[in-house]
Amino acid sequence: MIVLGGSASSDLAWKVAKELNAKHGEVEIKKFPDGEKYVRVVDEVKGEPVVVVQSLYRTPDEYLVELLLLVDALRDLGATTITGVVPYLAYARQDARFKPGEAISSLTVAKLFESAGMTSFLTVDTHLHRLESVSKVFHIPAHNLSSMPLLGRYALENLNAKKPVVVGPDEEAEPWAATVAKELDADHTVFRKKRVSSTKVEIDTGDLEMKGRDIVFADDIISTGGTIAESAKLCEKKGARMIYALCSHPILAEGAVERMTEAGVRKIVGTDSIPSPISKVSCAPVIADGIRRL
């Protein structure tokens, strides 16, 4: 087996190859002066099962095209199977037609992956909330893995949380909060969130008793940090002791970490599905395990 990464996930691909004791494949990727991408698979892949790792963050369209070029090239070059690993799956949030005429972007992206030649697909803590499973958008074997057990274990070993309660900042985050809570042997709950705009949310904490307790937020994505910051301010007001935030995908738009820190969040931890200064937990073991189980 050969594991290679696009330019969004070259380090993560290395780690996955190491976990699997597989060969790390070399690729050459360049950008032409007009903005087009060039990709070249350096290793001989004929007759080999190949895994391509590429997260679609920050410049998702660019990374998406790179991934499609890599997968199509691998098929042409004779790879026996091509597993696409997209830890952060951009376009997943548009998984329904909310207004007439909208593109259902998650379906479009799935069709592109399949037509380029992916034979199986893995993602991590994806945001396809309106669908019961990621396999509903694919015709190839497709699985949604989770970094939450690893984030929970990290919290257990590093945060020393007192009387912790794990909180999903909205109802959709309940399964993530539950998983982290299990690792911490703690209670969990969810807040109610109303999104007013892409940068503003309103949070209802319900009747959770927080005095003297530590709050550990668990969410899939931290983007502007607005959700966690607003939630944290309310927790402080209600007497929470320490506030921590865990996320699978630290998108971290500009100012996100400062916004959360100023709101009272003591420590913010994410995975390397998106490389960032808070990516303290690697999702490589989760991905490697998912590949072994295919």
223 binds ligand R5P (CB under 6 A): yes
172 binds ligand R5P (CB under 6 A): yes
Q: Which amino acid is at 134?
A: V
144 binds ligand R5P (CB under 6 A): no
Q: Is 15 a catalytic residue?
A: no
Closer Cβ to ligand R5P, 68 or 268, answer by number: 268
* Pick from 91, 127, 125: nearest CA to 110: 91
Cβ at position 54, least distance to ligand R5P in Å? 21
174 binds ligand R5P (CB under 6 A): no
Q: CB of 290 within 8 A of CB of 265? A: no
Find the binder of ligand R5P among 219, 235, 263, 273 (CB under 6 A): 219
119 binds ligand R5P (CB under 6 A): no
Closer Cβ to ligand R5P, 66 or 219, answer by number: 219
**Phi, psi torsion values for 96, nearest 5 degrees:** -160, 165
**Helix H or strand E encompassing 188:** strand 187-190
220 binds ligand R5P (CB under 6 A): yes
Positive or negative, the CA dihedral 244, 154, 273, 170 is negative
Find the binder of ligand R5P among 221, 268, 284, 288 (CB under 6 A): 221
State how beta strands 81-86 and 120-124 pair.
Answer: parallel
170 binds ligand R5P (CB under 6 A): yes
Residue 185, token pair as written in the block: 């042997």
Q: At which residue do the structure tokens 């190839």 appear?
A: 140
Closer Cβ to ligand R5P, 82 or 201, answer by number: 201
Find the binder of ligand R5P among 9, 224, 273, 282 (CB under 6 A): 224
Catalytic option among 162, 193, 194, 280: 193
Stretch that binds ligand R5P, among 73-81, 151-159, 167-175, 207-215 (CB under 6 A): 167-175
Site string for ligand R5P, 29-68 (x = CB under 6 A): ----------------------------------------
Closer Cβ to ligand R5P, 62 or 172, answer by number: 172
**Helix H or strand E encompassing 82:** strand 81-86
- Say what angle helices 284-292 and 10-20 make with each other, to 10 degrees: 50
Cβ at position 115, least distance to ligand R5P in Å? 29
Q: Which residues lie closer than 8 Å to 247 by C-beta, 6 or more apart? A: 151, 218, 219, 220, 221, 222, 268, 269, 270, 271
Q: CB of 213 within 8 A of CB of 165? A: yes
Q: Which residues lie closer than 8 Å to 217 by C-beta, 6 or more apart? A: 166, 167, 168, 169, 228, 231, 232, 243, 244, 245, 246, 265
Stretch that binds ligand R5P, among 99-107, 132-140, 144-152, 216-224 (CB under 6 A): 216-224
Cα 178 from Cα 188, distance rounded (Å): 6
Cβ at position 94, least distance to ligand R5P in Å? 13
169 binds ligand R5P (CB under 6 A): yes
The residues binding ligand R5P (CB under 6 A) are 169-170, 172-173, 201, 219-227
Active site residues: 193
